[in-house]
Each structure stands twice: as structure tokens, then as C-alpha cells.
Amino acid sequence: MKIVVTLLSLLIAIILGIVYVKISTPEIKSEVKTTQSEKKEVKKEPNFKITNEFNFPARIAYMRVDFKDVRYIELYKVEIDVNDKYTLFNVKELLKSNKVPFSMVEDKKGIKIYILFRDLTQADKVINLFKEYNFKIKLQKIKQRI
């Protein structure tokens, strides 16, 4: 009985080995085909135009600004020195009540408020307003090149 079991197990091992070798090595067929390439001539049209127009999802606006005559812009800068919180509050309220845009910069020396104007008449209105309250104001004319 031991001999039969040994022979059967040996036979199964040999069959499995042969099947594994056949599965692991794929069949490679190589055929060389020779083909002759034919050259095809493409007809060229002399006045070829693209007729498709593409509409992109974004709108494109073209704008032309002529800067030949305007080379410099004159701006007027009003600088206000603020030393304490009370004057800062008053200056801010005056500017807000007159709807004047301004910017504040805080340094080691104190707080400065800057206002830019394009016309001297607008700057004069604000200067006269601050002269009534005796605030320190500096007016400077700035010439900015475009």
C-alpha cells in the first residue's frame, strides 16, 4: 500500500511539474511581414481658411487709452500728524463726516494720516476744515509719471 501511494504522489508531482512548465513559458510566434509603403500625395489648397469660431466662456473686453498727451499726473498729499488718541478720534470723525478717503500709518514717532487729492480745490476744502480745529497739516504736491 505504501508503494502505491508513493507512486501516485510521484505521478501527480510529475504531471504538475509538466503543466507548470507549459504555463510559465508562453508561446512566441514570430512572423516577419514585409510591406511596401505607398506614398500618397496630399492635395494642397492655396486659400485655406478656418471657418470655425470658438466662443470661450469668458467675456473679453478691449479697451484703448491714449496716454500721448498725459505724461504726468499731479497729486496733492495732505499729511496730518496725530499725537494723542483724542486728536486721532477728532480727525477720523471729521474725515468720515465729509466722506473723504484716507489712510493711517503708525510709526515709532506717532500716527500719520495721509489724504490724496487730484485737485487743489478739494485739498483746500479739507485744509480749511482742519485749520478751524488747529491741527498740524502739511501739503505736498506730487508729480507722478505714468
Exposed, middle or buried, 6 (CB in 10 Å: 0-12/13-18/19+)?
Answer: exposed
Res 14: pLDDT: 92
- List all residues 6 or more positions away from 93 whose beta carbon is below 8 Å from its beta carbon: none
> What percent of the chain has a predicted confidence (pLDDT) above 90?
5
CA distances 126 to 15, 70, 108, 134, Å, are 106, 27, 26, 12
Res 119: pLDDT: 81
Structural domain boundaries in the chain:
72-145
Structurally, at CATH architecture level, domain 72-145 sits in: 2-Layer Sandwich (3.30)
Res 66: pLDDT: 67
Cell of 118: 487730484
Cell of 64: 484703448
Res 43: pLDDT: 63
| Winning range, highest mean pLDDT, from 6-15, 83-92, 103-112 | 6-15
